[in-house]
Amino acid sequence: MPDKAEPLSDQFDPARVLNSEVVFDGAVWDIRRDRFAFGGDTLVREYVEHPGAVAILALDDEENVVLIKQYRHPVQVLGWEIPAGLLDVTGEDPLVAAQRELAEEVDLTAADWSVLAEFFTTPGSSNEAIRIYLARGLRATDEAFARTGEEAGMETRRVPLDEVVDAVLDRRVQNPSLVVGVLAAQVARSRGWQGLGAADAPWRWRAAGQSPGDSGR
């Protein structure tokens, strides 16, 4: 049997960074270059500096997942996603941002909020981190929101959770928040929805200094 060890947990290690600078100031996000100590050497890496984001696995009373279809130009795909948005408002609470995005993208509010999952999207090339909320007790907003850009004409669909899981396992959908969210929801449902995080649970990534508008350095 393997040796008994502490539960698995990522560890933040910001002390390695020796120097950090923005080398490209982009329209949406920047490119940052860090010099850091590793294994007795000094290494240099560039990565996308991202403000972070929230996503919402909205589940109705019939256990249908609320999905949107949106165009994503970097991969040139019109794909299915769950509602999501950037944490680009300085000081905004992630839960408030999630509630706003749910209303703005699918014209819904929710009575019950929990933290479902958190993940780094591409830790080798970006510091983007996403918190996924589970939203239940859905109802329509009083007014529909006007949508522009890639959100204009966005298709919305409600799909049974099991069918979305099948689409993930069949590799027919690729959005990471959708993939992580529906698989986490399937496991949470099998456990009677026990063990979900409180809606206001601390977010270790933010506590480590990686808050919107602040690289922590």
Q: What is the pLDDT of residues 117-175, one digit of tens each?
A: 999 999 999 999 999 999 999 999 988 766 665 666 789 999 999 999 999 999 999 99
The answer to whether 83 and 66 are in contact (CB under 8 A) is yes
Residue-wise pLDDT tens digits, 105-131: 999 999 999 999 999 999 999 999 999
Q: Mean pLDDT over residues 8-34, rounded?
A: 90
Q: Mean pLDDT over residues 205-216, rounded?
A: 49
The average confidence (pLDDT) of the chain is 90
CA nearest neighbour of 32 among 145, 153, 156, 125: 125
Residue with token string 């026990």: 194
> How far, in Å, CA of 20 to CA of 179, rounded?
33
pLDDT of 177? 98
**pLDDT band with cut points at 50, 70 and 90 for residue 10:** confident
Q: What is the CATH number of domain 53-202?
A: 3.90.79.10
Q: Mean pLDDT over residues 1-10, rounded?
A: 78
Q: Where are the domains of the chain?
A: 15-49, 53-202
Is the pLDDT at 212 greater than 50, yes or no? no
Distance of CA 191 to the CA centre of its chain: 23
- Strands (E) in the chain, as ranges, are 17-24, 30-38, 41-49, 53-58, 64-72, 77-81, 84-86, 108-120, 129-140, 155-160, 197-198
CA nearest neighbour of 62 among 129, 3, 169, 138: 138
Is the pLDDT at 209 greater than 70, yes or no? no
Catalytic residue among 63, 150, 151, 163: 151
pLDDT of 65? 98
Is the pLDDT at 211 greater than 80, yes or no? no
pLDDT of 90? 84
pLDDT of 164? 98
Residue with token string 């529906």: 182
> Where is 37: in which H helix or E strand?
strand 30-38
Specify the pTM.
0.89
**Active site (annotated) includes residue 151:** yes
pLDDT of 214? 43
**pLDDT band with cut points at 50, 70 and 90 for residue 28:** confident
